[in-house]
Amino acid sequence: MGYYGFTMNEFQPGPAGCSENENFADMPLENTYASLPETFYSRVAPTPVAAPRLIRLNRPLAEQLGLDPVALTSLAGLEILAGNRLPKAARPLAMGYAGHQFGNWVPQLGDGRAVLLGEIVDRDGIRRDIQLKGAGITPYSRSGDGRASIGPVVREYLASEAMAALGIATTRALAAVATGELVYRARPEPGGIITRVASSHVRVGTFQYIASRQGAEGVRTLADYVIRRHYPDLVEADQPYTALLQAVMERTADLVASWLLVGFIHGVMNTDNMSVVGETIDYGPFGFVDLYHPGTVYSSIDTQGRYAYNQQPAIAQWNMARLAETLLPLLDDDEEAAVAVAQTALTAFADRFEASYHAGLRRKLGLMEQRREDVDLAFELLQIMARGGADMTLTFRRLSNLGSSGPESADSAGDGPVRNLFEQPDAFDAWVHKWRQRLAFEQRDEAERQSAMRAVNPAFILRNHLAQQAVDAAIEHLDFQPMESLLAVLSRPFDDQPQHEQYSLPPKPEERVLRTFCGT
Ligand code: AMP
Ligand code: MG
């Protein structure tokens, strides 16, 4: 008997729809990373697992990758997704990287429980990494077991697909598999593997790793690879490495702005968890803001609030400074000149973030034109949300539906759905009056303004308590139905789905999740 009332043989491949069609279960992998110097990674194959079972395949993503979903759900497909069988063209490896963890330099991290199988060029011509996370021990595992619990697998699957549906750059989840083995965390839990798809797994920490071990020539090799693969327009630039630094900063600034606009808190913005292509990566103790408060921290390991909601832009810039340091020798032969180039780029990061964030706030308020007072208007709303204990997502969503001219009296039906979210509705009444005055400057059709606002203010985010319920069901009962239901709703976050209203609501007091865990 297992720990949670299930036995090991319940993990046999089965109910999740495995067919016998094994013929086409392969992946047309390419291996550009594996052709870089061997000092960049370690060749290692996934360790097979006892009794894999498919929890979920992301069919639309499989199709986007040109893979056959039927073949992937066959026994042979399942074996690939579990690491029990290698695709013919795989040259599996674990990537080396270093990083600053909570500000402290750690010279050696690396994929301790993830194996890169190779790359697939998708239907849009974009090369994407196929990685099995939870695939067993690698030379970078240190004292870890190389495995993942099903809980974090479900969390990462949910988060990456929810973020993608929100239009936020992110790694994706192609599949989740239960391994039929237990992993030992605070308690024994069922093991899982997630197939992660990323435009890149190169991190700021990858540059740090190569810089600290191999110096400028190693960094040049890595930078050339990243430019060719991810920023091909820069190949011909006068100063390709300066252009690379600027481009990474632009994408990162836009990414962090997009996080803030939906209330996302990454939780562990260490340099090893920061992609060089501006995708959200490594979902650990992340969380979404419910009641808006700028200093919100969920992560149990972030005792100092280093990675709080409102610290994220400054931390991203700090991480970009670490990237810039590794590139210095390539920016200019003269050290002082190189530092000046890097400093200019870092200043530009702050400007880019601000422009991107402010433009997003304007869109959230339904404003098309730029006026100087707009940002103050937005900050004022955020401030009264913080003071009035209002739910961030619901406030913006319901604001979208308000009329431009307003109800007869403040407490009449019209504004009720928004003002009721505030402990002191008066503050909101005063604000909404100003907002309407501002709207009046724009000749915009009301219905068009409302639908434009609904297209940027989601009705549904991955609320922490809902993620937790899906994780608990998975760990305790191997029940993946809550995950399925959530994914269905979160795949259309900007659509009203009245039959699923419960997923749009903040947690009840007893449901509130105050802490999130790495829970590897
Ligand atoms: P993370 O907190 O997931 O960003 O991981 C930080 C570092 O710890 C990375 O080098 C991971 O590969 C490694 N790591 C995390 N969990 C495990 C595990 N269960 N076994 C081996 N290495 C791990
Ligand atoms: Mg990580």
What pTM, to 2 d.p., does this model score? 0.94
Mean of pLDDT values over 421-437: 95
User: Rounded to the nearest 5°, which phi and psi values hold at 203?
Assistant: -115, 170
- Name the more confident of 212 and 410: 212
Give yes or no for residue 495 having a pLDDT over 90: yes
Give the number of the atom of ligand 1 that is nearest the alpha carbon of residue 148. 19
CA of 413 to the centre of ligand 2 (A): 48
Closest C-alpha among 519, 489, 512, 477 to residue 55: 477
Q: Would strands 172-184 and 188-198 be described as parallel, antiparallel, or unpaired?
A: antiparallel
Give yes or no for residue 140 having a pLDDT over 80: yes
Rounded to whole angstroms, how far apart are CA atoms 41 and 208?
14
pLDDT band, very low/low/confident/very high, at 17 (cuts 50, 70, 90): very low
Mean of pLDDT values over 325-347: 98
Per-residue b or e along 87-120, where b marks 16 or more CB atoms closer than 10 Å to that residue's CB? beebbbbbbbbbbbbeeeebeebbbbbbbbbbbb
Residue 63, both tokens: 């199709």
Give yes or no for residue 3 having a pLDDT over 90: no
Q: Which residue has the tokens 């706030």?
A: 361
In short, whether 273's Cβ falls inside 6 Å of ligand 1 is yes
Question: Can you give the pLDDT at residue 18?
Answer: 44
In short, whether 282's Cβ falls inside 6 Å of ligand 1 is yes
In short, whether 359's Cβ falls inside 6 Å of ligand 1 is no
Neighbours of 161 (CB within 10 A): 22
Give yes or no for residue 19 having a pLDDT over 60: no
Query: Mean pLDDT in the chain?
Result: 93
Give yes or no for residue 498 having a pLDDT over 60: yes
CA of 205 to the centre of ligand 2 (A): 10
Mean of pLDDT values over 171-177: 98
Give yes or no for residue 4 having a pLDDT over 70: no
Question: Can you give the pLDDT at residue 414?
Answer: 86
In short, whether 109's Cβ falls inside 6 Å of ligand 1 is yes
CA of 197 to the centre of ligand 1 (A): 18
In short, whether 520's Cβ falls inside 6 Å of ligand 1 is yes
Can you tell me whether residue 344 is helix, strand or coil? helix
Give yes or no for residue 320 having a pLDDT over 80: yes
Cβ pair 135, 146 in contact under 8 A: yes
Instruction: Indicate which residue's Cα is closest to atom 8 of ligand 1.
Output: 112
Question: Can you give the pLDDT at residue 33?
Answer: 98
Neighbours of 448 (CB within 10 A): 11
CA of 375 to the centre of ligand 1 (A): 40
Question: Can you give the pLDDT at residue 514?
Answer: 83
Q: Tell me the percentage of the chain whose pLDDT exceeds 90.
A: 90
The question of whether 496 is a catalytic residue gets the answer: no
Q: Which of 272, 282, 290, 415 is catalytic?
A: 272
Residue to probe by mutation, ligand 1, list 113, 131, 269, most atoms within 8 Å of CB: 113
Question: Can you give the pLDDT at residue 405?
Answer: 87
In short, whether 155's Cβ falls inside 6 Å of ligand 1 is no
Question: Can you give the pLDDT at residue 413?
Answer: 59
Question: Can you give the pLDDT at residue 520?
Answer: 59
Question: Can you give the pLDDT at residue 12?
Answer: 39
Closest C-alpha among 453, 468, 480, 477 to residue 517: 468
Rounded to whole angstroms, how far apart are CA atoms 356 and 396?
18
**CA-CA distances (angstroms) from residue 249 to 179, 288, 344, 346, 379?**
38, 24, 11, 8, 24
Give yes or no for residue 22 having a pLDDT over 60: no
Give yes or no for residue 260 having a pLDDT over 70: yes
Give yes or no for residue 14 having a pLDDT over 70: no
